[in-house]
Chain A
Amino acid sequence: MSQYLLLRHRELPDLDKLSGYRAQGGFETFKKAVNDMSPAEVLTTVKESGLRGRGGAGFPTGLKWGFIPNNLWPHYVVANADESEPGTFKDREILENNSFQFLEGLMLASFAIQANVAYIYLRGEYWQLAKQLDRQIAELEEAGLLGKDLFGSDYSLNLYTHLGAGAYICGEETALLESIEGKLGQPRLRPPFPAVAGLYGKPTVINNVETLANVPLIIANGAAWYRSFGTEKSPGTKVFSLSGNVVNPGNYELPLGTTFRELIYTHGGGIPHGRKIKAIMAAGASSTIIPASEEALDTPMDYEEPQARFNAPLGSASVIVMDETVNMAWLVSKTVNFFKHESCGKCTPCREGTFWMNRISHRLVSGNGSSADIDLLDHVAHQIQGKCLCALGEFSTMAVISGVEHFRPDFETLVGN
């Protein structure tokens, strides 16, 4: 595909400068929305476009905005730029090179729910991006695109950045809100959902950076245009972060519904050294491991198919490829170690379960495990399932359970030698 919606900086010059972005018609959409559209019209267009959240869950964006009640004020929008899923690096490219499009999307979302303040929550390692965004927000204020009574209307909007302190869990939306409020980053009990009681207890929309970056084009070109990309149920394009054993790792913006095969072989250049592909993880560390069969390779990457066929949600679409040299038990131990490190510790099954799984998988990988340990690992993972307070606990079990199910011999080779 030659046409980019999100990674337009790859084609257009100076998009990372306000002048360059405005030269492409940037912020005209926002101006038009504030001047000529009602918030409801913006919301309806996004609803009709079928845009789904790119943060992982694929939740319909318009529907989410529609949950915001109009009898509780103020409203907030929070952009989720925590991007902590291992293997995900798409938001970073957007923020580094096409941040004005993201900012315009955030501003449109704020207008749609009539929020006067919006926050951008960035992972702590993105401090340079936070500085850059602060500069750009200042530029927008100077240009009269942010601030009080915009374009002579009575709508005002201010944006602020907020840096996290290095916790994966703070990408989870309610832990993120706690973190902005200056509290320990632990998920909140739901209900109430953020749409009703979010930041500081007020109605709040939380969207991923990529999700928001879609919005200006949807408002500018209409829902029907947007639906011309992707599939019926998963419209639009998606930035796939490709990594692992591929010749050309990187971000690829492709229509949703593109197959794994096209991503890995056509765009990613296939597997290095002529090796065979062994497995795919579609959603970073939070993936079900998909054995790389022909059927798997021909599966379209959207919010339905991988889930239906392999119980493998697309998540944030960080596709990690493993070739035949990779021992899956080793891979599983890496994911388990990650979740043990990132569990917030609030609920028992995840806090204790990830710790336990880490002990077992470490034992296995270091050659000190037994066959019974493989069963125990699998058992503990099942024991965690369905009991946790947030999705992280569930994520921690996915690679374990699918890994043991499909690649048990990889585990067995580590036993007893």
Chain B
Amino acid sequence: MTMKMVTLRIDEHTVEVPAGTRVVDAAKKVGVDIPVFCYHPKLESVGMCRMCLVEIGRPVVDRASGKVVLEADGSPKIQMAPKLETACTTPVSDGMLVVTTSEKVAAARREVVEFILTSHPLDCPICDKGGECPLQNLTMAYGSGTSRFIFDEKMRSAKHVPLGELIYLDRERCIQCGRCVRFQHEVVDDPVLDFYQRGRALEIITRSEPGFDSVFSGNTTDICPVGALTTADFRFGARPWEMKPAASICAQCPVGCNIVYDVRREAKSSGKPVIKRVMPRQNESVNEVWICDKGRFVHHYNESAERLTQPLMRVDGELTPVSWQQALETAAAKLKEAGKGLVTLAGGRLSNEDLFNLRELTRAQGGTTLLHTHMGGGEWTRQLGLNQGSNLGSLGNGDAIVVIASDLHQEAPLWWLRVKQAAQRGATLIVLNARPTRLDAYAAHALRYQPGEAAQAVAGLMGNHKTPAAFQTAREALAGAANLVVFFGSDGLGLTGTRALAQTCADLLMQSGHYGRPNNGLVGVWQHSNDQGAWEMGYAPAADLVGSLKKAKVALLAAADPVGDEPALAKALAGADFVIVQEMFLTASAEKADLVLPVAAIPEREGSLTSGERRAQRFYPAVPAPDGVRPDYTIAAQLGQRLGLELEGRAAGLVFLRLAQSEPAFAGLSYQALSTAEEQWPIVGRRDLYFGGTTYDNNQGMGTHLQPVLKAGERPAAVAAALDTELMDAGDNLLVLPHTRLFDQGSLVRFSRLLVERVATAELRLNPATAKHFGLAEGVAASLNLNGADASVIVRMDDALPPGAAWLPRRVGVPLWAPAAAQVKVMERD
């Protein structure tokens, strides 16, 4: 489809843009910054603030002939409009002349700024936005040196209004631009903010309970053009000019949002730089200019006093500090002893470089590498995952997206947002789940299956399984799709279930030829930021982890805490001769280990992560690592060295080169390629802060997709797995299904104390009919016996859930990773 182009003049520039473009955006293209407050390139224009007034002229057209009237010199005669027009609402038209530099325009800017300032406190010296504030900048440019408004007559309003526990509102600073309201309504569809009252009393309120209930709330503080909205985390924390930005990648979920850590030296940390805030960094192929609240607020763990900073070794039954030298030597000796009996269990939080070195180290001993995850299917995402040129932001009309067994809103918020937007652009969205999720609202087809029958549902979508008629309609809608992306998750499923599901999804994609080309393929909604990277390097979860650990002579656990996860794993591990743990904290596994090696956190080192979309992205050091910790890849290299293995440990970039040489998926990639920045639209940048807010522009790289493993038409390597099903019938017991919540009790969330109120608790949700059957009532405390542990839960009724099963979040203190049969009884009150 070719877009109709329009040519116009803006001051001395001539520019060609697609029809429908707003004058303000066309101007931005040629470097003309028209000041705006209410306009934001990601929001609908509303024309409220009147800051963007410009002079606009249009060619005079002769009514009779329909032709443009010409001047004596042959140029078209331009009729300037009598009134100034808002550049943010006016679409371009052919032959238009836009004047932004006239005295008339400058006067309008002065006048609008003056109006805004009559009610604005200009308390820049104590304002968090000071230094990166559009209003401050425009006041410098257009404000008058003296005020004609009597200070005592200024409107006074509340300055510390908690909209929720995360975001504060200063009503005096608010300029009623409505960006926050429109972001919540239009972009993320959490319409929890609104305008209230009218005239000068117009104010922002929250309508939700708890206040400002949205996982995207922090973004409003970036787009607020003044210091009216601030995060509870950062307010009064630092001045923008005192901080240095360091590019990074959010490691809280598989989306891999591009972020910036803003750091400052602080007295409280003896003059060392500390992270003051997390900001989005623009990447239109990944997170645009947004991040979720988890990514924004979960950063306090690295400054925790609980961090391990020296190796610990079990001496006389007690973990005792030892030197790195001693620790490494002991570990190396144990690895050598173990030989084939070495089991390396790695977590998806590790970087590509860590995983590579650990793999090389383990393989050299003849040991086994395992990925610690509750989710299978990576052998399929590896072969059928997304490739170069893929961008969820380009999916729309004619394309299709299937999301199955995932509550994307909770598991990968930015994917939820981008899938929703693709659907709103016209892509056919098919959502399949055993229970309703937030994505249903945008789905053309929201289909239900019986708990556990996710794979069968996909088979149904292909016509290979008996399913209700609604599946037939969805199948037809899929048939004509130009591009198809399938997301699969682990909502209500465990390892076996997800593996079967992935295989069926792979069948669907192969059958319809939707792989091996951009915007087609399979995406796993993994638990960790780099699970995909681990799969790419051949890591996979053990079908029977208990069995594998039992057989281990030496277990090397990196970023994995099996002991904390499940009593059965703890028991299995107890049989190993020697357990080595690489960790930031003294986890339950570390407590039981024979040797604990303290590691650096992501903001303290270099590395790269592979997102669920198979995009490898770099992160850079933001703060110095505490003395005594080392990156995982360095530790692995140093162990290798002692075992006569030549592993790269000096710099992450060098490890990456080795990886690129060894793994076809990474072939040809390098840190240089990953750090290439492309021009992004909209141009938000930080040059003028008013256009896109305080989001950072991307100078440090957009990352690169991994190489396709399978080209279109090629057949995948066979993966042997029967269409296995997980527990679906618990007999007389209660079938409990796990699901993932954004803020769970995972190891890192707890350090951000701000989030306590948002953290999921052990609430067992179930349909009232099922509850009745098990003698449960709303709000009662019940005891669950499952997977060999007793856990207490609070019972919550939920009409929306199908009968026959109960849902419980993962990582809320109950060892639940896959569907489980539980004995349940109401706890007696004492």
Contacts and interface: CB of A to CB of B under 8 A. Distances in A.
Contacts of A59: none
B432 interface: no
B83 A386 contact: yes
A359 B49 contact: no
B201 A345 contact: yes
A348 B48 contact: yes
A387 B155 contact: no
Contact of B50 (A186, A345, A387): A387
A352 B112 CA distance: 9
Interface string B167-195: 00000000110000000000000000011
B50 A388 contact: yes
Nearest to B178: A346
Nearest to A384: B115
Contact of A347 (B47, B83, B149, B194): B47
Nearest to B177: A348
B50 A347 contact: yes
A185 B48 contact: no
B202 interface: yes
Given A345-B197, A376-B148, A386-B84, A351 B112 contact: no
Given A184-B195, A345-B202, A351-B176, A356 B48 contact: no
Nearest to B120: A352
Nearest to B37: A348
Nearest to B203: A345
A203 B195 CA distance: 27
Contact of B118 (A167, A186, A347, A356): A356
Contact of B200 (A169, A343, A387, A388): A343
Band of interface residues on B? 35 or more
Interface in A343-396: 343-349, 351-356, 359, 376, 383, 386-389
B50 A349 contact: yes
B199 A359 contact: no
Q: Is the interface of B mostly helix, strand, loop or mixed?
A: loop
B198 A167 contact: yes
Interface in B99-158: 108, 111-112, 114-116, 118-119, 148-150, 153, 155
Contacts, number: 93
A88 B201 CA distance: 26
A383 B83 CA distance: 13
B198 A185 contact: yes
A340 B148 CA distance: 19
A343 B198 contact: yes
A345 B199 contact: yes
A342 interface: yes
A66 B119 CA distance: 44
A148 B50 CA distance: 47
Which of A352, A359, A376 has the largest count of B CB atoms less than 10 A from its CB? A352
A92 interface: no
A334 interface: no
Contacts of B199: 340-345, 351, 354-355
B53 interface: yes
A185 B115 CA distance: 22
A387 B53 contact: yes
B45 A189 contact: yes
B606 to A, nearest CB: 47
Contact of B115 (A344, A348, A359): A348
Nearest to A167: B198
Nearest to B194: A184
B112 A349 contact: yes
B444 interface: no
Contacts of A388: 50
A151 to B, nearest CB: 42
Contacts of A342: 198-199
A353 B202 CA distance: 14
Contact of A387 (B46, B84, B89, B175): B84
A356 to B, nearest CB: 5
Contacts of B501: none
Contacts of B111: 349, 383, 387
A185 B116 CA distance: 22
B119 to A, nearest CB: 6
Which of A340, A355, A386 has the largest count of B CB atoms less than 10 A from its CB? A355
Contacts of B201: 345
B51 interface: yes
A352 B117 CA distance: 9
Given A345-B201, A352-B118, A359 B50 contact: no
B825 to A, nearest CB: 47
B44 to A, nearest CB: 9
B92 to A, nearest CB: 15
Contacts of B108: 387
Given A351-B176, A389-B47, A345 B200 contact: yes
A340 to B, nearest CB: 7
A347 B177 CA distance: 8
Contacts of B149: 356, 359
A189 B50 contact: no
Given A343-B200, A344-B202, A345-B195, 7 more contacts: A189-B45, A340-B199, A351-B199, A355-B118, A355-B199, A386-B83, A387-B50
Q: Which 8 A-B pairs have the closest CB atoms?
A: A345-B202, A352-B115, A343-B199, A355-B200, A345-B199, A359-B153, A383-B111, A386-B83
29 contacts: A169-B198, A184-B195, A340-B199, A343-B198, A345-B200, A345-B202, A346-B46, A347-B48, A347-B50, A348-B112, A348-B115, A348-B175, A349-B50, A349-B115, A351-B115, A351-B176, A351-B199, A352-B119, A354-B199, A355-B118, A355-B119, A355-B155, A356-B149, A359-B153, A386-B84, A387-B53, A387-B111, A389-B48, A389-B50
